[in-house]
């Protein structure tokens, strides 16, 4: 019986692409069709909150309808034999719905709203919309519980701790272009086995084996290898 591995999965929107959810920078990505400055920044929120709410209401409804795919399921199944933590940039709940029990959301979650006071009081929404005038129990306007560009990443430290303790790191479905999340890939220990899966990647981080292809094809293969070896 092989020793329990400490597996960390650093995932991005590409892992949910085959569940029908758009990525950000690919051909038909969200930021190809929308301006992130207007929709995913504190400035955009101040300027036109109704536009921001509409954008996230649509994304929330789509994510709520989406189903986990073979990549999400293969990652969840690894928990049967190994210690697995998913550190994701994704705001959908497909890792959890596939059965992953330890998921760190670096960029927030669509299924939650939060107040705009310093208390950051959270409210569960599931797939429901937020409207202007929807107030948090502390009386402030509710906003999507998403980390926008220029905002701090509260769970970054937690993500770093997991990656620094990994014996196996799988980076999947992220372009590794957005910091500080992308810096996590560089923190894995020397002895850690490092794999990266994407359709395209501008730069393969040092020490990683690049598996170019679909998450639903590459991830189950890697999971089988790690489950047995
Ligand atoms: N299988 C595997 N990889 C895929 C697939 C697929 N089916 N489809 C796309 N990809 C890969 C692309 O090749 C690309 O490398 O997923 C990556 C998607 O990159 P981005 O669109 O940049 O998305 P992501 O890395 O998740 O963005 C990071 O940017 O906009 C912010 O906060 C947002 O969390 C997001 C962050």
Catalytic pick among 72, 95, 105, 107: 107
pTM above threshold 0.95: yes
Measure 205 CA to ligand 1 centroid, in angstroms: 15
Give the residue, out of 10, 15, 26, with the most ligand 1 atoms within 8 A of its beta carbon, to mutate for a pocket test: 26
Tell whether the model's pLDDT for residue 24 goes beyond 80.
yes
Burial annotation 50-72 (CB, 10 A radius, 16+ → b, else e) = eebbbbbbebbebbbebebbbbb
Tell whether the model's pLDDT for residue 107 goes beyond 90.
yes
pLDDT, tens digit, for every residue of 151-201? 999 999 999 999 999 999 999 999 999 999 999 999 999 999 999 999 999
Q: What is the mean pLDDT of the chain?
A: 96
Alpha-carbon dihedral angle through residues 16, 19, 24, 27, given to the nearest 10 degrees: 130
- 107 is an active site residue: yes
Measure 89 CA to ligand 1 centroid, in angstroms: 9
Nearest to 219 by CA among 98, 109, 89: 98
Tell whether the model's pLDDT for residue 1 goes beyond 80.
no
Q: Whose CA is nearest to atom 8 of ligand 1?
A: 14
Measure 118 CA to ligand 1 centroid, in angstroms: 31
Instruction: Please report the atom of ligand 1 found closest to the CA of residue 201.
Output: 15
Measured CA to CA, the distance from residue 40 to residue 13 in angstroms comes to 16
* Interval 30-57 mean pLDDT: 96
């Amino acid at each position: 019986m092989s020793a329990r591995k400490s597996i960390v999965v650093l995932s991005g929107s590409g892992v949910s692409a085959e569940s029908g959810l758009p990525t950000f920078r690919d051909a038909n990505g969200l930021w190809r069709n929308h301006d992130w400055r207007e929709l995913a920044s504190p400035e955009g929120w101040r300027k036109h909150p109704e536009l921001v709410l509409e954008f996230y209401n649509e994304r929330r409804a789509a994510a709520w309808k989406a189903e986990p795919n073979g990549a999400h399921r293969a990652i969840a199944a690894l928990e049967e034999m190994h210690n697995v933590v998913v550190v994701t940039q994704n705001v959908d709940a497909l890792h959890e719905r596939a059965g992953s029990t330890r998921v760190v959301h670096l960029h927030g979650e669509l299924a939650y709203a939060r107040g705009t006071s310093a208390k950051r009081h959270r409210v569960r929404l599931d797939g429901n919309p937020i409207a202007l005038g929807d107030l948090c129990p502390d009386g402030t306007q509710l906003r999507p519980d998403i980390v926008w560009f220029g905002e701090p990443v509260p769970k970054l430290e937690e993500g770093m701790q997991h990656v620094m303790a990994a014996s196996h790191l799988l980076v999947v479905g992220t372009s590794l272009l957005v910091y500080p999340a992308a810096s996590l890939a560089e923190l894995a220990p020397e002895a850690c086995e490092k794999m990266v899966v994407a359709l395209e990647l501008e730069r393969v981080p040092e020490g990683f084996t690049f598996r170019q292809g679909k998450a639903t094809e590459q991830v189950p293969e890697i999971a089988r290898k790690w489950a047995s070896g």
